[in-house]
């Protein structure tokens, strides 16, 4: 997810392997419905750091 956030901010269109990516998320979400929210939060923080927007630079 951090790749998607970072690429979007930089205007880069990433190559994504949709079937593998979505399959992995479906497996995880069957076990933990809230995993997507934790992952999105971490990904956002990572993207902010990479883009120089993080609080702890």
> What would the pLDDT profile of 7-34 be if each residue is shown by its tens digit?
888 998 877 776 777 888 889 999 999 9
Domain residue limits at 38: 2-50
Confidence at residue 30, expressed as pLDDT on a 0 to 100 scale = 93
- pTM here? 0.65
Rounded distance between C-alpha atoms, residue 17 and residue 37, angstroms:
21
Look at residue 37 and tell me if it is in a domain.
yes
Look at residue 57 and tell me if it is in a domain.
no
Number of domains present in the structure of the chain: 1
C-alpha closest to that of 39 among 54, 55, 20, 24: 24
| Residue bearing tokens 């120089």 | 52
Q: What are phi and psi of 51, to 5 degrees?
A: -90, 5
Place 44 in a pLDDT band, splitting at 50, 70 and 90.
very high
Lowest-confidence region among 3-7, 15-19, 49-53: 15-19
Rounded distance between C-alpha atoms, residue 11 and residue 21, angstroms:
21
Mean pLDDT computed over 33-51: 91
């Amino acid at each position: 997810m951090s790749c998607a956030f970072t690429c979007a901010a930089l205007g880069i269109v990433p190559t994504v392997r949709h079937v593998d990516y979505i399959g992995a998320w479906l497996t995880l979400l069957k076990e933990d419905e809230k995993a997507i929210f934790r992952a999105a939060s971490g990904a956002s923080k990572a993207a902010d750091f990479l883009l120089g927007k993080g609080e702890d630079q």
